[in-house]
Amino acid sequence: MMTTKDKIIAIDLGGTSAKLAIVSTNGEILQKWSVNTVVLNGGKAIVPNLIESIQERMDLYQLTTEDFLGIGMGSPGTVNHIDLTVIGAYNLNWVETQNVGEQFSQAFKLPFYLDNDANIAALGEQRHGSGDNASDVVMVTLGTGVGGGIIVDGQIVHGNSGAAGEIGHMTIDKDSGIACTCGKIGCLEALASATGLMNLTREYSEEYSGDSEIKQRIDNGDELTAKDIFEASEQHDMFAKHVVEQFGEYLGLGCSHIVNMLNPSKIILGGGVAQAGEYLRELVARHCDNYIFPALKGKTEIVIASLGNDAALLGAAELVNDGKLVG
Residues that bind a second copy (CB under 8 A): 78, 88, 134-136, 148, 150, 152-153, 155, 157-167, 169-171, 174, 182-184, 253, 256-258, 260-265, 290-296, 299-300
Q: Residue 139 CB, nearest distance to a second copy (Å)?
A: 13
Nearer of residues 58 and 164 to a second copy, judged by Cβ: 164
| Closest distance to a second copy from the beta carbon of 148 (Å) | 7
Which letter does DSSP use for residue 18 in this model? E
Sign of CA dihedral 309, 313, 316, 322: negative
Which lies closer to a second copy via its Cβ, residue 18 or residue 167?
A: 167
For the residues of 158-178, what is the DSSP string, one character each?
A: --TTS-TT-GGGSBS-TTS-P
CA atoms within 13 A on the CB side of 313: 24
> By three-state DSSP, how is residue 178 classified?
coil
- In contact, 227 and 218? CB cutoff 8 Å: no
Q: Is the Cβ–Cβ distance between 119 and 149 less than 8 Å? A: yes
Distance in Å, CB of 187 to a second copy, minimum: 8
Q: Which is nearer to a second copy, 149 or 228 (CB)?
A: 149
Minimum Å gap between C-beta 182 and a second copy is 6
d(CA 179, CA 197): 13
Minimum distance of a second copy from residue 1's CB (angstroms): 39
Taking the complex as a whole, the smallest distance from the CB of residue 261 to a second copy amounts, in Å, to 6
Q: In this complex, which beta carbon is closest to a second copy, that of residue 183 or of residue 210?
A: 183
Nearest residue to 112 (alpha-carbon basis) of 317, 271, 273: 317
State the Cα–Cα distance between residues 145 and 190, nearest whole angstrom. Answer: 8
CB of 95 or CB of 182, closer to a second copy: 182
Q: In this complex, which beta carbon is closest to a second copy, that of residue 60 or of residue 182? A: 182
CA separation (Å) from 135 to 23, 26, 151, 153, 158?
22, 18, 7, 5, 16
